Structure 1
Protein backbone atom coordinates (compact mmCIF):
# COMPACT_ATOMS: atom_id res chain seq x y z
CA UNK A 1 0.00 0.00 0.00
CA UNK A 2 1.16 3.53 -0.68
CA UNK A 3 2.34 5.39 2.46
CA UNK A 4 -0.08 7.81 4.10
CA UNK A 5 0.70 11.52 3.71
CA UNK A 6 1.58 12.56 7.26
CA UNK A 7 5.30 12.95 6.49
CA UNK A 8 5.11 14.54 3.05
CA UNK A 9 7.16 17.65 2.42
CA UNK A 10 5.54 18.47 -0.93
CA UNK A 11 2.71 20.89 -1.46
CA UNK A 12 -0.18 20.98 -3.89
CA UNK A 13 -0.68 17.24 -3.46
CA UNK A 14 -2.00 15.53 -6.55
CA UNK A 15 -3.18 12.03 -7.27
CA UNK A 16 -3.01 10.01 -10.48
CA UNK A 17 -4.60 6.61 -10.79
CA UNK A 18 -4.62 3.99 -13.53
CA UNK A 19 -6.41 0.64 -13.47
CA UNK A 20 -4.22 -2.55 -13.43
CA UNK A 21 -3.90 -5.88 -11.48
CA UNK A 22 -1.53 -6.63 -8.26
CA UNK A 23 0.58 -4.35 -5.71
CA UNK A 24 3.93 -2.72 -4.67
CA UNK A 25 5.55 0.59 -3.58
CA UNK A 26 8.28 3.07 -4.52
CA UNK A 27 9.33 6.63 -3.75
CA UNK A 28 11.87 9.12 -5.03
CA UNK A 29 14.37 11.02 -2.91
CA UNK A 30 12.77 14.01 -4.58
CA UNK A 31 11.47 15.09 -7.96
CA UNK A 32 12.74 18.23 -9.70
CA UNK A 33 10.03 20.60 -10.93
CA UNK A 34 10.44 22.31 -14.28
CA UNK A 35 11.22 25.99 -14.55
CA UNK A 36 9.39 28.05 -13.45
CA UNK A 37 8.45 26.11 -10.32
CA UNK A 38 4.88 27.42 -10.40
CA UNK A 39 1.48 25.73 -10.29
CA UNK A 40 0.00 25.67 -13.79
CA UNK A 41 3.30 25.18 -15.67
CA UNK A 42 4.21 22.10 -13.62
CA UNK A 43 0.76 20.55 -13.44
CA UNK A 44 0.68 20.60 -17.21
CA UNK A 45 4.25 19.33 -17.50
CA UNK A 46 3.38 16.29 -15.38
CA UNK A 47 0.64 15.22 -17.82
CA UNK A 48 2.38 16.18 -21.09
CA UNK A 49 6.05 15.44 -20.41
CA UNK A 50 6.88 18.78 -22.01
CA UNK A 51 8.71 21.56 -20.25
CA UNK A 52 6.75 24.82 -19.93
CA UNK A 53 8.89 26.41 -22.62
CA UNK A 54 7.46 23.83 -25.05
CA UNK A 55 3.84 23.40 -23.97
CA UNK A 56 3.31 27.14 -23.64
CA UNK A 57 1.98 27.46 -20.08
CA UNK A 58 5.07 29.42 -19.13
CA UNK A 59 3.62 31.06 -15.99
CA UNK A 60 0.42 31.33 -13.99
CA UNK A 61 0.06 34.79 -15.57
CA UNK A 62 0.85 35.28 -19.25
CA UNK A 63 0.31 37.56 -22.22
CA UNK A 64 -0.15 36.42 -25.80
CA UNK A 65 -0.53 38.99 -28.63
CA UNK A 66 -3.33 36.95 -30.22
CA UNK A 67 -5.06 35.51 -27.15
CA UNK A 68 -4.59 38.37 -24.68
CA UNK A 69 -4.20 37.79 -20.95
CA UNK A 70 -4.07 34.50 -19.05
CA UNK A 71 -4.58 34.31 -15.29
CA UNK A 72 -5.72 31.50 -13.03
CA UNK A 73 -9.00 33.27 -12.25
CA UNK A 74 -9.84 34.06 -15.88
CA UNK A 75 -12.07 31.07 -16.57
CA UNK A 76 -12.49 31.95 -20.25
CA UNK A 77 -8.72 31.87 -20.77
CA UNK A 78 -8.22 28.74 -18.66
CA UNK A 79 -10.86 26.98 -20.76
CA UNK A 80 -9.43 28.09 -24.11
CA UNK A 81 -7.55 25.19 -25.71
CA UNK A 82 -5.40 27.55 -27.79
CA UNK A 83 -3.28 28.27 -24.71
CA UNK A 84 -2.52 24.61 -24.06
CA UNK A 85 0.14 23.03 -26.28
CA UNK A 86 1.27 19.44 -26.36
CA UNK A 87 -0.91 16.39 -25.72
CA UNK A 88 -1.97 15.65 -22.12
CA UNK A 89 -2.29 12.06 -20.97
CA UNK A 90 -6.08 12.11 -21.12
CA UNK A 91 -5.89 12.89 -24.85
CA UNK A 92 -3.45 10.03 -25.49
CA UNK A 93 -5.65 7.70 -23.42
CA UNK A 94 -8.74 8.79 -25.38
CA UNK A 95 -7.00 8.02 -28.67
CA UNK A 96 -6.30 4.53 -27.34
CA UNK A 97 -9.97 4.03 -26.50
CA UNK A 98 -9.54 4.51 -22.74
CA UNK A 99 -11.90 6.46 -20.46
CA UNK A 100 -10.59 9.34 -18.33
CA UNK A 101 -11.76 11.54 -15.46
CA UNK A 102 -10.14 14.64 -13.93
CA UNK A 103 -10.82 16.62 -10.79
CA UNK A 104 -9.58 20.22 -11.15
CA UNK A 105 -6.40 19.37 -13.08
CA UNK A 106 -5.08 22.44 -14.98
CA UNK A 107 -5.77 22.00 -18.68
CA UNK A 108 -8.73 19.67 -18.17
CA UNK A 109 -11.26 22.50 -18.53
CA UNK A 110 -10.12 23.15 -22.12
CA UNK A 111 -10.75 21.21 -25.30
CA UNK A 112 -7.25 20.18 -26.42
CA UNK A 113 -6.75 18.57 -29.82
CA UNK A 114 -10.53 18.34 -29.97
CA UNK A 115 -10.68 16.22 -26.79
CA UNK A 116 -11.78 16.74 -23.18
CA UNK A 117 -11.63 14.15 -20.40
CA UNK A 118 -14.78 12.02 -20.27
CA UNK A 119 -15.48 13.48 -16.80
CA UNK A 120 -14.16 16.82 -15.61
CA UNK A 121 -15.04 19.61 -13.19
CA UNK A 122 -14.62 23.38 -13.25
CA UNK A 123 -12.24 24.30 -10.44
CA UNK A 124 -14.02 25.01 -7.15
CA UNK A 125 -11.59 25.77 -4.33
CA UNK A 126 -14.39 25.51 -1.76
CA UNK A 127 -14.85 21.79 -2.44
CA UNK A 128 -13.42 19.95 0.60
CA UNK A 129 -10.54 17.51 0.16
CA UNK A 130 -12.70 14.66 1.46
CA UNK A 131 -15.36 15.36 -1.17
CA UNK A 132 -12.70 15.34 -3.91
CA UNK A 133 -11.40 11.99 -2.72
CA UNK A 134 -14.96 10.66 -2.49
CA UNK A 135 -15.60 11.63 -6.10
CA UNK A 136 -12.43 9.83 -7.18
CA UNK A 137 -13.55 6.77 -5.25
CA UNK A 138 -16.99 6.94 -6.85
CA UNK A 139 -15.49 7.05 -10.34
CA UNK A 140 -13.27 4.07 -9.61
CA UNK A 141 -16.16 2.15 -8.07
CA UNK A 142 -18.23 2.22 -11.25
CA UNK A 143 -18.85 -0.98 -13.24
CA UNK A 144 -16.08 -1.93 -15.70
CA UNK A 145 -18.18 -0.72 -18.63
CA UNK A 146 -17.99 2.92 -17.45
CA UNK A 147 -15.07 2.97 -14.97
CA UNK A 148 -12.29 5.44 -16.01
CA UNK A 149 -8.86 4.00 -16.77
CA UNK A 150 -7.14 7.24 -15.75
CA UNK A 151 -8.25 9.48 -12.89
CA UNK A 152 -6.46 12.65 -11.75
CA UNK A 153 -7.29 14.43 -8.49
CA UNK A 154 -5.94 17.76 -7.26
CA UNK A 155 -5.76 18.84 -3.60
CA UNK A 156 -4.73 22.47 -3.06
CA UNK A 157 -5.37 22.85 0.68
CA UNK A 158 -1.74 22.34 1.74
CA UNK A 159 -0.45 24.86 -0.78
CA UNK A 160 -3.00 27.48 0.28
CA UNK A 161 -2.23 27.10 3.99
CA UNK A 162 1.53 27.19 3.43
CA UNK A 163 1.25 30.32 1.29
CA UNK A 164 -0.73 32.21 3.92
CA UNK A 165 0.98 30.99 7.09
CA UNK A 166 4.33 29.51 6.04
CA UNK A 167 5.34 25.92 5.29
CA UNK A 168 6.25 25.13 8.91
CA UNK A 169 3.10 26.61 10.48
CA UNK A 170 0.48 24.76 12.47
CA UNK A 171 -2.04 25.73 9.77
CA UNK A 172 0.08 23.98 7.13
CA UNK A 173 0.39 20.89 9.33
CA UNK A 174 -3.38 20.86 9.86
CA UNK A 175 -3.93 21.12 6.09
CA UNK A 176 -1.58 18.19 5.60
CA UNK A 177 -3.59 16.17 8.14
CA UNK A 178 -6.76 16.98 6.19
CA UNK A 179 -5.18 15.89 2.92
CA UNK A 180 -3.93 12.75 4.66
CA UNK A 181 -7.42 11.95 5.91
CA UNK A 182 -8.90 12.43 2.43
CA UNK A 183 -6.28 10.17 0.90
CA UNK A 184 -6.86 7.61 3.63
CA UNK A 185 -10.58 7.65 2.85
CA UNK A 186 -9.83 6.91 -0.78
CA UNK A 187 -7.46 4.05 0.04
CA UNK A 188 -9.85 2.54 2.57
CA UNK A 189 -12.72 2.66 0.08
CA UNK A 190 -10.64 0.99 -2.61
CA UNK A 191 -9.52 -1.69 -0.16
CA UNK A 192 -13.07 -2.39 1.00
CA UNK A 193 -14.15 -2.92 -2.59
CA UNK A 194 -11.24 -5.18 -3.41
CA UNK A 195 -9.82 -2.66 -5.88
CA UNK A 196 -6.67 -1.47 -4.13
CA UNK A 197 -4.46 -4.28 -5.39
CA UNK A 198 -5.64 -3.71 -8.97
CA UNK A 199 -4.82 -0.02 -9.25
CA UNK A 200 -1.56 1.84 -9.77
CA UNK A 201 -1.46 4.97 -7.62
CA UNK A 202 0.99 7.83 -8.12
CA UNK A 203 1.11 10.71 -5.63
CA UNK A 204 3.08 13.77 -6.68
CA UNK A 205 3.45 17.46 -5.93
CA UNK A 206 4.17 20.08 -8.54
CA UNK A 207 6.77 21.92 -6.42
CA UNK A 208 8.01 22.49 -2.89
CA UNK A 209 7.64 25.58 -0.70
CA UNK A 210 10.07 28.08 0.84
CA UNK A 211 9.60 30.29 3.86
CA UNK A 212 9.26 34.04 3.18
CA UNK A 213 9.87 36.33 6.20
CA UNK A 214 7.44 39.22 6.52
CA UNK A 215 9.94 41.93 5.57
CA UNK A 216 11.25 40.15 2.47
CA UNK A 217 8.90 41.57 -0.13
CA UNK A 218 9.79 44.20 -2.73
CA UNK A 219 7.60 46.58 -4.68
CA UNK A 220 7.72 45.75 -8.38
CA UNK A 221 7.71 49.50 -9.07
CA UNK A 222 11.09 49.72 -7.29
CA UNK A 223 12.48 47.10 -9.66
CA UNK A 224 11.23 48.63 -12.91
CA UNK A 225 9.36 51.84 -13.72
CA UNK A 226 5.87 50.92 -15.04
CA UNK A 227 6.07 53.96 -17.31
CA UNK A 228 8.96 52.29 -19.13
CA UNK A 229 7.99 48.60 -19.12
CA UNK A 230 4.97 46.33 -18.95
CA UNK A 231 5.21 43.89 -16.06
CA UNK A 232 3.56 40.72 -17.33
CA UNK A 233 4.00 38.62 -14.19
CA UNK A 234 4.96 39.25 -10.57
CA UNK A 235 5.74 37.11 -7.52
CA UNK A 236 8.96 35.12 -7.84
CA UNK A 237 9.40 35.02 -11.63
CA UNK A 238 8.96 38.46 -13.13
CA UNK A 239 8.24 38.80 -16.83
CA UNK A 240 9.07 42.27 -18.14
CA UNK A 241 8.49 43.76 -21.58
CA UNK A 242 10.16 47.17 -22.15
CA UNK A 243 7.89 49.69 -23.82
CA UNK A 244 8.93 50.90 -27.30
CA UNK A 245 11.82 53.35 -27.09
CA UNK A 246 12.81 52.27 -23.56
CA UNK A 247 14.49 48.95 -24.35
CA UNK A 248 18.09 50.04 -23.71
CA UNK A 249 17.19 51.96 -20.56
CA UNK A 250 15.25 49.07 -19.03
CA UNK A 251 17.98 46.56 -19.90
CA UNK A 252 20.63 48.76 -18.34
CA UNK A 253 18.66 48.96 -15.11
CA UNK A 254 17.65 45.30 -14.88
CA UNK A 255 20.15 42.95 -16.49
CA UNK A 256 22.60 41.24 -14.18
CA UNK A 257 22.77 40.32 -10.50
CA UNK A 258 21.00 42.28 -7.75
CA UNK A 259 20.85 41.75 -3.96
CA UNK A 260 17.39 40.11 -4.04
CA UNK A 261 17.01 39.03 -7.68
CA UNK A 262 18.78 38.45 -11.00
CA UNK A 263 17.64 39.40 -14.52
CA UNK A 264 18.39 38.05 -18.00
CA UNK A 265 17.31 38.54 -21.56
CA UNK A 266 15.02 35.66 -22.46
CA UNK A 267 17.66 34.35 -24.86
CA UNK A 268 20.35 34.29 -22.14
CA UNK A 269 18.66 32.49 -19.24
CA UNK A 270 20.63 29.69 -17.53
CA UNK A 271 20.69 26.74 -19.93
CA UNK A 272 19.75 24.24 -17.20
CA UNK A 273 16.31 25.90 -16.95
CA UNK A 274 15.53 25.07 -20.61
CA UNK A 275 13.45 28.21 -20.80
CA UNK A 276 13.19 31.27 -23.01
CA UNK A 277 12.33 29.98 -26.50
CA UNK A 278 8.55 30.16 -26.34
CA UNK A 279 7.18 33.43 -27.76
CA UNK A 280 5.08 34.01 -24.63
CA UNK A 281 8.24 34.40 -22.52
CA UNK A 282 8.70 38.18 -22.09
CA UNK A 283 11.93 39.83 -23.33
CA UNK A 284 13.35 40.06 -19.79
CA UNK A 285 12.95 37.52 -16.99
CA UNK A 286 13.88 38.37 -13.40
CA UNK A 287 14.19 35.56 -10.87
CA UNK A 288 13.75 36.44 -7.20
CA UNK A 289 16.16 34.87 -4.73
CA UNK A 290 14.80 32.24 -2.37
CA UNK A 291 12.65 33.79 0.35
CA UNK A 292 11.87 36.99 -1.55
CA UNK A 293 8.67 38.07 -3.30
CA UNK A 294 8.02 41.02 -5.64
CA UNK A 295 4.50 42.46 -5.68
CA UNK A 296 2.73 45.66 -6.75
CA UNK A 297 3.26 48.41 -4.20
CA UNK A 298 -0.39 48.36 -3.08
CA UNK A 299 0.18 44.86 -1.62
CA UNK A 300 3.61 45.41 -0.05
CA UNK A 301 2.53 47.26 3.11
CA UNK A 302 -0.12 44.64 3.79
CA UNK A 303 2.36 41.79 3.30
CA UNK A 304 5.03 43.44 5.43
CA UNK A 305 2.59 43.50 8.35
CA UNK A 306 1.75 39.80 8.01
CA UNK A 307 3.66 36.94 9.66
CA UNK A 308 5.91 34.52 7.81
CA UNK A 309 4.44 33.27 4.54
CA UNK A 310 5.41 30.64 1.99
CA UNK A 311 6.25 30.90 -1.71
CA UNK A 312 7.49 28.79 -4.60
CA UNK A 313 8.61 29.76 -8.07
CA UNK A 314 12.29 29.83 -7.11
CA UNK A 315 15.16 28.01 -8.83
CA UNK A 316 14.02 24.36 -9.23
CA UNK A 317 17.48 23.18 -8.13
CA UNK A 318 16.90 24.50 -4.59
CA UNK A 319 16.13 21.81 -1.99
CA UNK A 320 13.05 23.76 -0.90
CA UNK A 321 11.55 23.39 -4.39
CA UNK A 322 11.94 19.60 -4.48
CA UNK A 323 8.67 17.83 -5.28
CA UNK A 324 7.15 14.58 -4.12
CA UNK A 325 6.87 11.24 -5.95
CA UNK A 326 5.35 8.12 -4.37
CA UNK A 327 3.88 5.23 -6.34
CA UNK A 328 2.35 1.85 -5.53
CA UNK A 329 0.42 -0.82 -7.34
CA UNK A 330 0.86 -3.90 -9.49
CA UNK A 331 3.35 -2.24 -11.84
CA UNK A 332 5.72 -1.08 -9.08
CA UNK A 333 8.43 -2.76 -7.04
CA UNK A 334 8.21 -2.88 -3.26
CA UNK A 335 10.42 -0.55 -1.18
CA UNK A 336 12.40 0.94 -4.08
CA UNK A 337 13.95 4.41 -3.56
CA UNK A 338 14.72 6.32 -6.74
CA UNK A 339 17.40 8.99 -7.08
CA UNK A 340 16.13 12.46 -7.99
CA UNK A 341 14.62 12.84 -11.46
CA UNK A 342 12.87 15.55 -13.52
CA UNK A 343 9.08 15.73 -13.46
CA UNK A 344 8.92 15.42 -17.27
CA UNK A 345 9.55 11.69 -16.72
CA UNK A 346 6.09 11.16 -15.18
CA UNK A 347 4.26 11.43 -18.51
CA UNK A 348 6.06 8.57 -20.29
CA UNK A 349 5.44 6.51 -17.15
CA UNK A 350 1.70 7.19 -17.47
CA UNK A 351 1.78 6.23 -21.14
CA UNK A 352 3.59 3.01 -20.24
CA UNK A 353 1.12 2.10 -17.48
CA UNK A 354 -1.93 2.83 -19.63
CA UNK A 355 -0.50 1.33 -22.78
CA UNK A 356 -0.89 4.26 -25.15
CA UNK A 357 1.76 5.61 -27.52
CA UNK A 358 3.26 8.73 -25.92
CA UNK A 359 3.24 11.98 -27.86
CA UNK A 360 6.46 13.94 -28.38
CA UNK A 361 7.80 14.79 -24.92
CA UNK A 362 10.94 15.75 -22.95
CA UNK A 363 10.80 12.83 -20.51
CA UNK A 364 12.66 9.55 -20.30
CA UNK A 365 10.96 6.41 -19.00
CA UNK A 366 14.37 4.80 -18.39
CA UNK A 367 14.85 7.10 -15.38
CA UNK A 368 11.86 5.38 -13.74
CA UNK A 369 12.42 1.90 -15.11
CA UNK A 370 14.07 0.72 -11.83
CA UNK A 371 10.76 1.41 -10.06
CA UNK A 372 8.86 -1.01 -12.27
CA UNK A 373 8.27 -4.70 -11.86
CA UNK A 374 9.71 -6.94 -14.56
CA UNK A 375 7.22 -7.35 -17.42
Structure 2
Protein backbone atom coordinates (compact mmCIF):
# COMPACT_ATOMS: atom_id res chain seq x y z
CA UNK A 1 0.00 0.00 0.00
CA UNK A 2 2.84 2.38 0.82
CA UNK A 3 4.58 1.49 -2.44
CA UNK A 4 1.39 2.15 -4.35
CA UNK A 5 1.03 5.55 -2.67
CA UNK A 6 4.63 6.57 -3.39
CA UNK A 7 4.47 5.19 -6.95
CA UNK A 8 1.32 7.20 -7.62
CA UNK A 9 2.86 10.40 -6.29
CA UNK A 10 6.02 9.85 -8.34
CA UNK A 11 3.97 9.15 -11.47
CA UNK A 12 2.24 12.49 -10.98
CA UNK A 13 5.55 14.27 -10.31
CA UNK A 14 4.57 15.48 -6.86
CA UNK A 15 6.32 13.03 -4.52
CA UNK A 16 8.87 15.63 -3.38
CA UNK A 17 6.08 18.12 -2.62
CA UNK A 18 3.99 15.88 -0.37
CA UNK A 19 4.64 15.27 3.33
CA UNK A 20 4.34 11.62 4.36
CA UNK A 21 4.65 10.33 7.93
CA UNK A 22 4.87 6.62 8.69
CA UNK A 23 4.16 6.02 12.35
CA UNK A 24 3.52 2.91 14.43
CA UNK A 25 1.28 3.04 17.49
CA UNK A 26 3.35 0.60 19.56
CA UNK A 27 6.16 -1.93 19.52
CA UNK A 28 5.98 -5.69 19.98
CA UNK A 29 7.79 -8.35 22.01
CA UNK A 30 7.85 -12.14 21.75
CA UNK A 31 5.98 -14.21 24.36
CA UNK A 32 6.44 -17.92 24.99
CA UNK A 33 5.18 -20.58 27.42
CA UNK A 34 8.34 -20.54 29.52
CA UNK A 35 7.38 -17.02 30.64
CA UNK A 36 4.00 -17.80 32.20
CA UNK A 37 2.48 -16.91 35.56
CA UNK A 38 -0.69 -18.72 36.64
CA UNK A 39 -3.19 -16.99 38.91
CA UNK A 40 -4.33 -20.34 40.29
CA UNK A 41 -0.84 -20.78 41.77
CA UNK A 42 -1.72 -17.95 44.18
CA UNK A 43 -4.52 -19.95 45.80
CA UNK A 44 -2.54 -20.64 49.04
CA UNK A 45 -2.55 -16.88 49.63
CA UNK A 46 -5.70 -15.72 47.84
CA UNK A 47 -8.17 -17.19 45.40
CA UNK A 48 -8.84 -14.92 42.44
CA UNK A 49 -12.21 -15.89 40.92
CA UNK A 50 -12.03 -15.82 37.17
CA UNK A 51 -14.94 -13.39 36.93
CA UNK A 52 -12.85 -10.78 38.77
CA UNK A 53 -10.28 -10.79 35.96
CA UNK A 54 -10.93 -8.33 33.13
CA UNK A 55 -7.63 -8.84 31.29
CA UNK A 56 -4.47 -10.88 31.83
CA UNK A 57 -1.70 -9.93 29.40
CA UNK A 58 0.17 -7.69 28.99
CA UNK A 59 -1.66 -5.88 31.79
CA UNK A 60 -3.42 -7.82 34.53
CA UNK A 61 -6.65 -6.02 35.44
CA UNK A 62 -8.78 -7.19 38.37
CA UNK A 63 -12.08 -5.75 39.58
CA UNK A 64 -13.14 -7.40 42.85
CA UNK A 65 -16.84 -7.04 43.77
CA UNK A 66 -18.06 -4.41 46.22
CA UNK A 67 -17.22 -5.29 49.80
CA UNK A 68 -13.86 -6.88 48.98
CA UNK A 69 -10.84 -4.90 50.18
CA UNK A 70 -8.74 -4.08 47.14
CA UNK A 71 -5.77 -3.25 49.37
CA UNK A 72 -5.96 -6.73 50.87
CA UNK A 73 -6.15 -8.30 47.42
CA UNK A 74 -3.00 -6.42 46.37
CA UNK A 75 -1.14 -7.32 49.57
CA UNK A 76 -1.97 -11.03 49.41
CA UNK A 77 -1.19 -11.32 45.72
CA UNK A 78 2.19 -9.63 46.15
CA UNK A 79 2.94 -11.82 49.16
CA UNK A 80 2.40 -14.93 47.08
CA UNK A 81 4.25 -13.62 44.05
CA UNK A 82 7.32 -12.70 46.12
CA UNK A 83 7.33 -15.93 48.15
CA UNK A 84 9.56 -17.84 45.75
CA UNK A 85 6.88 -20.55 45.56
CA UNK A 86 5.03 -19.19 42.52
CA UNK A 87 6.65 -19.92 39.18
CA UNK A 88 7.91 -16.66 37.63
CA UNK A 89 6.18 -14.76 40.44
CA UNK A 90 8.91 -12.13 40.68
CA UNK A 91 8.05 -10.96 37.17
CA UNK A 92 4.62 -9.65 38.15
CA UNK A 93 3.93 -6.76 40.53
CA UNK A 94 0.42 -5.87 41.73
CA UNK A 95 -0.69 -2.27 42.40
CA UNK A 96 -3.72 -0.36 43.44
CA UNK A 97 -4.29 1.74 40.34
CA UNK A 98 -3.67 4.96 42.27
CA UNK A 99 -0.22 3.65 43.25
CA UNK A 100 0.93 3.00 39.68
CA UNK A 101 3.89 5.12 38.49
CA UNK A 102 2.57 8.57 37.61
CA UNK A 103 4.39 8.53 34.25
CA UNK A 104 1.86 5.94 33.04
CA UNK A 105 -1.15 8.27 33.42
CA UNK A 106 -3.26 5.21 34.15
CA UNK A 107 -5.40 5.85 37.20
CA UNK A 108 -7.88 8.69 36.67
CA UNK A 109 -10.71 6.89 34.84
CA UNK A 110 -13.41 4.86 36.58
CA UNK A 111 -13.11 2.41 33.66
CA UNK A 112 -9.67 1.31 34.88
CA UNK A 113 -10.08 -1.61 37.33
CA UNK A 114 -8.82 -0.89 40.87
CA UNK A 115 -6.19 -3.67 40.90
CA UNK A 116 -3.53 -3.64 38.18
CA UNK A 117 -0.67 -6.08 37.65
CA UNK A 118 2.39 -5.01 35.68
CA UNK A 119 4.41 -7.72 33.98
CA UNK A 120 8.05 -7.77 33.07
CA UNK A 121 8.79 -7.73 29.36
CA UNK A 122 7.60 -10.82 27.51
CA UNK A 123 5.85 -12.50 30.47
CA UNK A 124 2.21 -13.55 30.36
CA UNK A 125 -0.49 -14.21 32.94
CA UNK A 126 -2.93 -17.07 32.52
CA UNK A 127 -5.74 -18.13 34.80
CA UNK A 128 -4.74 -21.77 35.13
CA UNK A 129 -2.37 -24.35 33.71
CA UNK A 130 -3.37 -25.96 30.42
CA UNK A 131 -1.70 -28.19 27.87
CA UNK A 132 -1.90 -25.50 25.24
CA UNK A 133 1.42 -24.52 23.69
CA UNK A 134 1.48 -20.90 22.65
CA UNK A 135 4.33 -18.73 21.50
CA UNK A 136 3.60 -15.41 19.88
CA UNK A 137 3.89 -11.72 20.56
CA UNK A 138 2.21 -8.95 22.52
CA UNK A 139 2.31 -5.23 23.15
CA UNK A 140 1.09 -2.99 25.95
CA UNK A 141 3.89 -3.67 28.44
CA UNK A 142 5.47 -0.81 30.38
CA UNK A 143 6.44 1.83 27.84
CA UNK A 144 9.88 2.12 29.44
CA UNK A 145 10.83 -1.09 27.59
CA UNK A 146 12.71 -0.46 24.34
CA UNK A 147 10.62 -3.17 22.64
CA UNK A 148 7.50 -1.06 23.14
CA UNK A 149 8.91 1.74 21.01
CA UNK A 150 7.88 2.07 17.38
CA UNK A 151 8.87 3.73 14.11
CA UNK A 152 8.76 7.30 12.88
CA UNK A 153 9.69 7.84 9.22
CA UNK A 154 8.94 11.13 7.50
CA UNK A 155 9.45 12.49 3.99
CA UNK A 156 8.58 15.81 2.42
CA UNK A 157 9.70 19.37 1.85
CA UNK A 158 9.66 20.16 5.59
CA UNK A 159 11.97 17.26 6.51
CA UNK A 160 15.75 17.15 6.08
CA UNK A 161 16.73 14.15 3.96
CA UNK A 162 18.72 11.46 5.80
CA UNK A 163 18.38 13.03 9.25
CA UNK A 164 17.95 10.84 12.32
CA UNK A 165 16.00 12.34 15.23
CA UNK A 166 16.08 11.35 18.91
CA UNK A 167 13.25 9.28 20.35
CA UNK A 168 10.09 11.14 21.33
CA UNK A 169 6.61 10.36 22.63
CA UNK A 170 3.77 9.89 20.15
CA UNK A 171 1.77 12.71 21.78
CA UNK A 172 4.12 15.07 19.95
CA UNK A 173 2.82 14.04 16.51
CA UNK A 174 -0.35 16.15 16.71
CA UNK A 175 1.49 19.45 16.94
CA UNK A 176 3.93 18.33 14.24
CA UNK A 177 1.11 17.69 11.76
CA UNK A 178 -0.71 20.87 12.75
CA UNK A 179 2.50 22.83 12.09
CA UNK A 180 2.98 21.25 8.65
CA UNK A 181 -0.62 22.09 7.75
CA UNK A 182 -0.28 25.57 9.29
CA UNK A 183 -3.24 24.95 11.59
CA UNK A 184 -3.85 26.13 15.12
CA UNK A 185 -4.29 22.83 16.94
CA UNK A 186 -6.52 22.17 19.90
CA UNK A 187 -4.94 21.98 23.39
CA UNK A 188 -3.11 18.66 23.77
CA UNK A 189 -0.36 16.88 25.71
CA UNK A 190 2.37 17.61 23.17
CA UNK A 191 4.81 20.50 23.43
CA UNK A 192 4.46 23.58 21.22
CA UNK A 193 8.22 23.66 20.65
CA UNK A 194 8.52 20.10 19.31
CA UNK A 195 7.81 20.81 15.63
CA UNK A 196 10.73 23.24 15.58
CA UNK A 197 13.08 20.42 16.61
CA UNK A 198 12.00 18.19 13.71
CA UNK A 199 11.06 20.47 10.81
CA UNK A 200 13.38 22.55 8.67
CA UNK A 201 13.53 26.13 9.84
CA UNK A 202 12.06 27.37 6.58
CA UNK A 203 8.89 25.34 7.12
TM-score (norm 1): 0.46
CA displacement at 1:311 relative to structure 2: 1.6
Alpha-carbon contact 1:263-1:284 (below 8 Å) kept:
yes
Q: What corresponds to 2:98 in structure 1?
A: 267
Higher strand share: 1
CA displacement at 1:222 relative to structure 2: 4.2
Matches within 5 A, 1:65-76: none
Q: Indicate the SS of the match to 1:334.
A: coil
CA displacement at 1:368 relative to structure 2: 3.8
2:138 to 302, 308, 311: 311
Q: Indicate the SS of the match to 1:264.
A: strand
Alpha-carbon contact 2:28-2:139 (below 8 Å) kept:
yes
Farther-moved stretch of structure 1 (183-192 vs 364-373): 364-373
CA distance in 2, matches of 1:246, 1:228: 15
Q: Indicate the SS of the match to 1:239.
A: strand
Q: What corresponds to 1:251 in structure 2?
A: 74
TM-score (norm 2): 0.82
Pairing 1:213–2:40 present: no
CA distance in 1, matches of 2:63, 2:181: 42
Q: What corresponds to 1:192 in structure 2?
A: 11
Q: What corresponds to 1:335 in structure 2?
A: 162
CA displacement at 1:187 relative to structure 2: 1.1
CA distance in 2, matches of 1:326, 1:349: 13
Q: What root-mean-square deviation, in Å, do the aligned CA atoms of Structure 1 and Structure 2 show?
A: 2.3
Unaligned runs of 5+ in 2: 83-88
Pairing 1:348–2:175 present: yes
Pairing 1:284–2:115 present: yes
Report the number of matched residues.
190
Alpha-carbon contact 1:229-1:243 (below 8 Å) kept:
no
Q: Indicate the SS of the match to 2:131.
A: helix
Farther-moved stretch of structure 1 (256-265 vs 343-352): 256-265
Unaligned runs of 5+ in 1: 1-132, 134-182
Alpha-carbon contact 2:179-2:195 (below 8 Å) kept:
no
Alpha-carbon contact 2:175-2:194 (below 8 Å) kept:
no
Q: Indicate the SS of the match to 2:164.
A: strand
Alpha-carbon contact 2:16-2:157 (below 8 Å) kept:
yes
Q: What corresponds to 2:53 in structure 1?
A: 231
Q: Indicate the SS of the match to 1:206.
A: coil
CA distance in 1, matches of 2:126, 2:187: 37
Matches within 5 A, 1:1-375: 133=1, 183-222=2-41, 225-227=47-49, 230-247=52-69, 248-255=71-78, 258-297=89-128, 300-302=130-132, 305-306=133-134, 308-375=135-202
